Amino acid sequence: MKQWIDRPIEIRNLFNPAFCGLVLFRALAAFHAEDDKGMPFSLSLLVLPLCLQQSSRETLQRANRSYFLKVVADHPELLVGFGKRCTDVLPFTLEGLGLLMHCDAVTVSPDGRLVPNSAGVRKTINGSDESKACQRVAAFLGKEFARIADRGTIYTTLGVRP
């Protein structure tokens, strides 16, 4: 990972650890609302690749009243290059999670699940329209991942292996 100052301005803006952490926190909080055990770490790695890419985000945003598995089945274009996106975004996901841990916004349960702390982040979603869309899609993903309740099904549907 390059030092912060050595990164291109576009990377610093889009993959800002605070913004990535906020998006991840929205998914973790929505997951926790459905399943109080918390989100498995492996599922948190799927949030940013789906939320930050514009076409994936817009597809999920339009279909937010549907089920995640149905959305993926109806829109196979979500899977194009998804594995590479996950790999490319992994360092930024880890930075965002690290910042959340540092700020005590998230704790790790003994069985390795990520549990959001209630005082971690404001509940209101604010920011630019694109920032709000990322946060709303993350909340949708968190809720849907909790409802599916099987990591294997989610990973298989997305065509990737943990």
58 in any annotated domain: yes
Q: By the 8 A CB rule, do 136 and 125 touch?
A: yes
Nearest Cα to 119, choosing from 103, 132, 141?
103
Tens digit of pLDDT for each residue in 27-86?
A: 999 999 999 999 999 999 999 999 999 999 999 999 878 899 999 999 999 999 999 999
pTM higher than 0.75: yes
1 in any annotated domain: no
102 in any annotated domain: yes
91 in any annotated domain: yes
Round to whole Å and give the CA distance between 65 and 62.
8
Domain with 24, as residue range(s), is 6-158
pLDDT at residue number 120:
67
Q: How many domains does the chain have?
A: 1
86 in any annotated domain: yes
State the number of CA atoms in the 13 A half-sphere of 151 facing the CB: 12
